[in-house]
Structure 1
Amino acid sequence: MLVFAAASIWSLLAVVIYLAISPILDWLGANAGGVISGGKNIATAAGADKNVMNAIDGIDLAGASASLLNLTAGIAKPAVVVIWLLGMAAILAVPFITRKLGNYFGMKRRDAGFY
């Protein structure tokens, strides 16, 4: 019964995270342009050289951040599934492992004369 409850909670957590990945990354993508432009404005106000600002514009930070978010979106959902599978395997293995450990340590105590 405890394994079923743990597996249910683990699965529910995985589904919530899996479904939350896309909206979170969309929100980050929508705000990335504003953050980059705000950073440029702060750098200009702080007295950054014109050559530095041209170099920053040449890097295309907006495109780089969009590419990074797309890469993250492509990796995040499969990673959630793999982590969920590993967690389920661990949850399902706990009763067998504890039984084996209990038998192993129980025999050692009986052999040593501790009752």
Structure 2
Amino acid sequence: MSFTPRASTSNVPTLPKWLGLVVLAVWSLVIVIGYMLADGLLGWLIANAGSVVQAGRDLGTAVAPELNVALDAFGGGDIWTSLILLARAILMPAFVVIWLLGAIVIVVLPRILGKVISMVSNRR
């Protein structure tokens, strides 16, 4: 059994290059919008964590006065601000990684699918 390479791979179906660029641009736009929304929401939460905790504390104290002691032991708004900052530190770089993985899939997937389709059609 001998191996002879094919003379040309022009029979491999491919998508137009402009379609890949459009999909990549839309993917980038979705990620940028998501990044800006997450950044704005987390910034708002950081700025208002103290107010939200105080409002919850006031409501909790009105319903159950012993809850105020537990909230004082928990740390109030400082712990929430720290947790939100931690979420922000993890989430913001995650957007870049998710965008990169999506961009790689957008660029590579049409080529892989074209080769798979041609292999399947050659078997028939």
Structure 1 and Structure 2 fold alike (TM over 0.5): yes
Cα offsets for 1:56-93 (capped at 9, x unmatched): 11211201011011111211221000000000000001
1:40 aligned partner:
57
Counterpart in 2 of 1:60? 75
CA contact (8 A) 2:46 2:81 kept: yes
Instruction: Write out per-residue CA displacement over residues 82-105 of structure 1, whole angstroms, 9 at most, x where no aligned residue.
Output: 000000000001211111121122
Q: Secondary structure at the match of 2:64?
A: coil
TM-score relative to the length of structure 2: 0.76
Aligned residue number for residue 78 of structure 1: 93
For the 8 Å contact 2:24–2:103, the answer to whether it is kept is yes
Aligned-partner Cα distance in 1 for 2:118–2:65: 70
Q: Which runs of 4+ in 1 moved over 4 A?
A: none
Flag structure 1 segments of 5+ consecutive residues without an equivalent.
111-115
**Corresponding residue number in structure 1 for 2:25:** 8
SS of 1:48 mapped into structure 2: coil
- Aligned residue type for 2:112: I
Q: What residue is the counterpart of 1:22 in the other structure?
A: 39
Residue in 1 aligned with 2:119?
Answer: 104
Identity of aligned residues (%): 35
Flag structure 2 segments of 5+ consecutive residues without an equivalent: 1-17
Provide the aligned C-alpha RMSD in A.
1.6
1:22 positional shift? 2.7
TM-score w.r.t. length of structure 1 = 0.82
Higher helix share: 1
Q: Does 1:89 align with 2:104?
A: yes
Report the Cα offset of residue 34 of structure 1.
2.1
- In structure 2, the partner of 1:113 is none
